[in-house]
Amino acid sequence: MKPYRVMLLSFLVLLPACAEKSNPPPLAEPPRLLNSMPADKQTEVTEGMMEILLLFDQNVTLGPSPRITLNGVLVTDLRPGTGGELKLVVPPLEPAVTYTLVVPGHTVKGPTGVFLPTEIRLVFTTRTPAPPREALSPQAEKLLLFMREQQGKAILSGTMANVAWNTNEAAWVHLHTGKYPALNCFDFIHLPFSPASWIDYGNISVVENWWKEKGLVSAMWHWNVPANSAETGKYAFYWGSGPEETLFDIAKINDSSSEEYQRMIADIDKISGYLKLLKDKQIPVIWRPLHEAAGNMGAYPGGTAWFWWGAGGAEPFKKLWRLMFDRMTHHHGLDNLIWVWTSQMTDAGWYPGDDYVDMVGRDIYNESGTATIKNDFTTLQERYPGKPSALSECGSVAKIPDQWNAGAKWVWFMPWYDYDRTVDTGSEAFQLSTHQHADADWWKDAFDTDYVLTRDEMPDLK
């Protein structure tokens, strides 16, 4: 073979490879929007939200001087994150408003620097708040409307009184911060013994004085029934077979001739008499009975209820709740009660129904982080639209500013009481800044914010 033929063959062999290398590489793809929260054309969006989330198929950054607007107002707090997230922090969304979010083309770019050339436009509408339910007193209607308006904008501070009839916890907070919490919660735990020299729910002066100072009044009920003890006069609310517990059968709610049914009606009537004293003074009550009914049921295999009112499962519990609501509202005419149902998060089937619940609460303890707390808040808001959500009990939890900044914008919060801090206000122990559930520094961090409301910041709801 002649040399020029070898050269020609070599050239022909190399030609396809060279041609292949000469083709330009494929262009990098621009980011693609996968979804958003709220979604485009979504209605009934929760008012008070302060975050809009855009999720792309790749991590994104922003071009210089981005002009992202919400209803024509420039959004300046833009937070690209991992996993393709772009979080927009906005003022609290107002109720019954249609919003338009515009992200102009050539604003969002991917890791390779390629911009999304097209505009993103999302339109969504916040829900219209439900009017107060019928048959509320003027004061209770004002209070419920006020709390609905605060959701997402402000959070009311609250304290839980110890099992006596007092405001000592609130006084302890005032001692260490110079301010009183907006709300004080009382417990009718001693109902079987009242009236007595040491407890008399008929003397409402402590509640009346708190209300006169613009403090909000809440009440709950650790419902004591006869204990298993052979000793007479023993009562319990924890469900179980021990002498300090009770096997009181809530299922007897279905048998109006049973001793248990008659006991339930008698106790509801007795406590209604005390609540009527508050009604007669035009004092609205944030009423939170039958709390934490499901206990650990559904949380893990073998989980049980803690209290007798949840030991029979969801159906008898809901029947008891509705019976109490109807008897208090219609038989006793208690129009001053705002009804709060407490969720255990795994108990959606226990919800008594929108007609029987004004607000929902969540009791959280020993959660120093914010992820679970934020998730619980979001779940309640989505599961029960139109119902304000409260941190109805707490202890050893993340600071309120950390919860708020994470997106858990409760309508009120209430740490549980500490026996050592609720003793006589003149005692040495009362002066201590330590606390089992929320120490003085925890409270100072809360009160140092603009959105945590104290008693002196309450409007006149009378």
Active site residues: 292, 393
Report which of 162, 170, 151 is spatially closest to residue 213, judged by C-alpha positions.
170
Buried b / exposed e over 282-315, threshold 16 CB at 10 Å, is ebbbbbbbbbbbbbebbeeeeeebbbbbbbbbbe
Q: Provide the sign of the torsion angle of the four alpha carbons 238, 241, 244, 250, taken in this order.
A: positive
Could you tell me the sign of the dihedral formed by the alpha carbons of 67, 38, 133, 278, in that order?
Answer: negative
Helix H or strand E encompassing 393: strand 389-397
Burial class (CB in 10 A: 0-12, 13-18, 19+), 424: exposed
Query: Residue 11: exposed, middle, or buried by beta-carbon count in 10 A (0-12, 13-18, 19+)?
Result: exposed
- φ, ψ (nearest 5 deg) of residue 180: -95, 145
Kindly compute the dihedral angle of the four CA atoms of residues 345, 349, 354, 357, in this order, to the nearest 10 degrees: -60
Report whether the peptide linkage leading into residue 38 is cis, meaning its omega lies within 30 degrees of zero.
yes
Secondary element (H or E) of residue 7: helix 3-22
Picking from 294, 91, 263, 136, the residue whose alpha carbon sits closest to that of residue 191 is 263
User: What phi, psi does 98 have (nearest 5°)?
Assistant: -95, 125
